[in-house]
Amino acid sequence: MKPNQVLEYAKEKNIKVVDIRFMDFPGIWQHFSVPISELNQDSFEDGFGFDASSIRGWKSIDASDMLVIPDPLTAKIDPFFKVPTLVLIGNIADPFTRRPYSRDPRYIAKKAETYLKSTGIGDTAYIGPEAEFFIFNDIRFNTSANESFYSVDSMEGAWNTGREEFPNLGYKPRHKEGYFPVPPVDKFQDMRSEMMLTLENLGIDVECQHHEVATAGQAEIDMRFKPLLEMGDQMVWFKYVLKNVANQHNHTVTFMPKPLFGDNGSGMHTHISIWKEGSPLFAGNKYAGLSDTALYGIGGILKHCKALCAITNPTTNSYKRLVPGFEAPVNLAYSGRNRSAAVRIPMYSDAAKAKRIEFRTPDPSCNGYMAFSAVLMAVLDGIENKIEPGEPLDKNIYDLPPEELANVPSAPGSLEDALLALKEDNEFLLKGDVFTEDVISKWIEYKMEKEVNPIKLRPHPYEFMLYYDI
């Protein structure tokens, strides 16, 4: 929609409130509301002022004034607010220079799309994320000088087969056996359908919803692929909708990659393809029906994967999932159909338009705008420099003998390792000023100071199991 169409739409729908939203640096949606009387044609150029010093990873208090400028193309009606509310996603700008703010994740995504076009390689990058998540009935946690604990619970939890539930009716999926039993084992079919239909009512195309492998309500809802920036916008709506639908049912959703010990974690397998003038560039007559362009793109992902993980797997908890020897795709190889490789070529269809590559390492704790942009930049670097991906690995990587596995590189073992890799390998992200040196350095600094070091300093409950009687 254009600005005048947004205003007409708001009048037609009897909108009373406008909610302005934007993404902070680490990846949490922020908002403030204004009465509909404050929204006019000029608002889409002048924007709304706010204090950026209170936003994580942004401005200091002596330079805090910033603008958020609504994008009329993002207008949607919030499905949860009692008062009719129009939501507009905004872009962040400096109030003095009017220039976009380099640490605005949405601006990074816009620049990634612009850079793709400038290369002449293609004009559209399609992104299709498969974000997994858990639905829990209860979550409690605390940390202090003398105490640290967490406790999650679910009516589906395999550990609850002996709990008094007056009555306990059983049918709780065993560890690693949650894929795809029908109800009554699957207890969240109706809730996931409500999530799916709410997304569709917002204009977000959904391909399917289902229970995932783990016990205790692990699930997945897949959105149909869209251009990069549009998918970044959809990803924030996706998390918002799922959390709020669950909340309405007195449940909670988490995109934390590894909330349970001893069962599968949540990944976000990310499909990517590049098109030019309506034609797919990844279809060809090479391995698994790929083109040279696609193979070079895979080469770029594999070359830069360790640095990418600092953005696509950006939490310390991410690396509880990325552990060698388990099912997570930590081995940096590619293959057709083989789900044990970090990069897979889906083989459901031979159609050229369906040909894409699937990067399986990312998880849903990431900031979608930044993660999708970083993956695209790695793919483009591979294409521009014709980086060969090596030979495909069409074996079950987890069955390889140690001497053969030693030749397969691995993803980082910790967030700190990933951040160090990003510090050394970031030139591919700086092309076209998509990611700036300031963004990279601030990202590393923020993650080290706010996440890596605080985790290092705190005793872990399991250390008491191991060492208290020493």
% of the chain at pLDDT higher than 90? 88
Using 50, 70 and 90 to split pLDDT, how confident is the model at 268?
Answer: very high
Average pLDDT over residues 90-117: 96
> How high is the pLDDT of residue 417?
98
Active-site residue, 220 included? yes
pLDDT at 60 over 80: no
Band (pLDDT 50/70/90 cuts) for residue 407 is confident
Contact 211, 224 (CB under 8 A): no
How much is the CA Rg of the chain, to the nearest whole Å?
Answer: 23
Active site includes 269?
yes
Res. 291: pLDDT tops 90: yes
For the purposes of burial, counting CB atoms within 10 Å of the CB of 319, is it exposed (0-12), middle (13-18) or buried (19 or more)? buried
Contact 459, 148 (CB under 8 A): yes
Considering the chain, what is the average pLDDT of its residues? 95
pLDDT of 354 reads 87
Average pLDDT value for residue range 243-264: 97
Predicted confidence at residue 401, as pLDDT, reads 82
Predicted pLDDT at 164: 95
Which residue among the candidates 94, 230, 339, 394 is catalytic per the annotation? 339
pLDDT per position as a tens digit, 138-180: 999 999 999 999 999 999 999 999 999 999 999 999 999 999 9
What is the model's pLDDT at position 211? 98
- Amino acid 326: pLDDT: 67
Mean pLDDT (whole number) for 270-291: 96
- Report the percentage of the chain scoring pLDDT > 70: 98
Q: pLDDT by residue (tens digit) across 388-405?
A: 999 998 877 777 788 887
Quick one: pLDDT band at residue 61, thresholds 50, 70, 90?
low
Residue 99 annotated among the catalytic residues of the structure: no
Task: Based on the residue annotation, tell me whether 212 is a catalytic residue of this protein.
Answer: yes
Q: Is the pLDDT of residue 62 over 70?
A: no
Give the mean model confidence (pLDDT) for residues 77-96: 97
For 34, 230, 369, 381, 440, the CA distances from 87, given in Å and listed in that order, are 11, 15, 18, 36, 30
Residues 6+ away with beta carbon under 8 Å from 182 = none
- Please tell me which residue in 156, 212, 222, 263 is annotated as part of the active site: 212
Catalytic residue of the set 263, 360, 381, 416:
360
d(CA 424, CA 390): 23
The active-site residue, picked from 192, 211, 269, 304, is: 269
pLDDT of residue 440: 98
Q: Which of 78, 220, 233, 263 is catalytic?
A: 220
pLDDT at 73: 98
What pLDDT is attached to residue 352? 83
Determine which one of 24, 132, 381, 451 is catalytic: 132
Does 351 have pLDDT greater than 90?
no
Cβ–Cβ under 8 Å, residues 243 and 160:
no
Ramachandran area for residue 313 (φ above 0: left; ψ -120 to 50: alpha; else beta): beta
Reply yes or no on whether 358 is catalytic: yes
